[in-house]
Amino acid sequence: MSKTYNVAIMGATGAVGNCFLRILEQRKFPIKHLRLLASERSKGKDLEFSGKPYPVEVLTHDSFKDIDIVLASAGASRSLEFLPSAVKAGAVCVDNSSAFRMEKDTPLVVPEVNGTRIKDHKGIIANPNCSTIQMVVALKPIHDAAKIKRIVVTTFQSVSGGGQKKVTELWEQSKDFLAKKKVTPKEFPHQIAFNLLPQIDVFLDNGYTKEEMKMVNETRKIMEAPDMQVNATCVRVPVFYAHSESVNIETEKHISPDEVRKLLAKAPGVKVIDDPKSGKYPMPIDAEGLDDTFVGRIRQDESVKNGISMWVVSDNIRKGAALNAVQIAEDLIKEGLV
């Protein structure tokens, strides 16, 4: 009989928490006991898993007794407060927040890119930012073949990246706008319906947002390339699910678009959709609910000697959050690290 594990989900009632449940069920994760944890306001709720209701328990420092694996998506402050208690209780934690990503001793892992790093964990493994995950999945095979020295990326990020309240606000704003009613932003600094916001998270002293600098620093750490030049502009767009990215890279060794297509066609977690003359290229509406990172519009950058441009799309709640964390947990089991 295969070994099974006691699993806790921190932030179980949120969008990523619900996605954890769907993915664990779909992938037949070997669960012995499941514990669902959330804040006091979720007390008394039930969530369904594999056809059975599970009660939501209030998250406390004593919630991790006998737990083997914690999948956390409750925000950075909650992770900082509670995950040390989980580690002390003997659990291995996969954290979806930004709390531990840049800690020197915490592996920052995308299984298709640097999965071997999970063995370095000291109780916590960090899940990268959703925008970073899909980009490095697409770029790692190219980096291995031709060594990327510079990345310029512009993201077009769906509102679900900011949580369920922002999804609801886009819906409500869209209805008000189409009804010619006054649009009053609540969750966003400005109207998001039929608009673009070139700001995700707060601005820093260097003029970039926190989200943009996450992409810079996380990419360097994951790719183990501290000198890689990365420039990011992150934009919130009126799309409900799935992030899109315009990615331009400069490599040390010349690589052609055809070579890139061949590399990505056999890369894990990547699906190439690249026939623009027939109107075939990745779009967020087609990526929603799917696990792959989709790449298209692969072309030579004619402004530099060794440049490639491409378009990258992925479901930010699945691969950009829940799926990546579950894949890490699966690898922990496969490698006997939990």
**Which positions are annotated as active-site residues?**
130, 243
pLDDT digits (tens, 9 = 90+) for 124-165: 999 999 999 999 999 999 999 999 999 999 999 999 999 999
| pTM given for the model | 0.96
Rounded Cα–Cα distance for residues 295 and 316 (Å): 15
Domains, the chain, ranges and CATH?
5-128+321-334 (3.40.50.720), 132-316 (3.30.360.10)
Strands of the chain, DSSP E: 5-10, 31-38, 46-49, 52-58, 69-72, 92-95, 124-126, 148-157, 229-236, 243-251, 270-272, 293-301, 307-314
pLDDT for res 1: 45
Confidence grade of residue 2 (pLDDT, cut at 50, 70, 90): confident
pLDDT digits (tens, 9 = 90+) for 224-259: 999 999 999 999 999 999 999 999 999 999 999 999
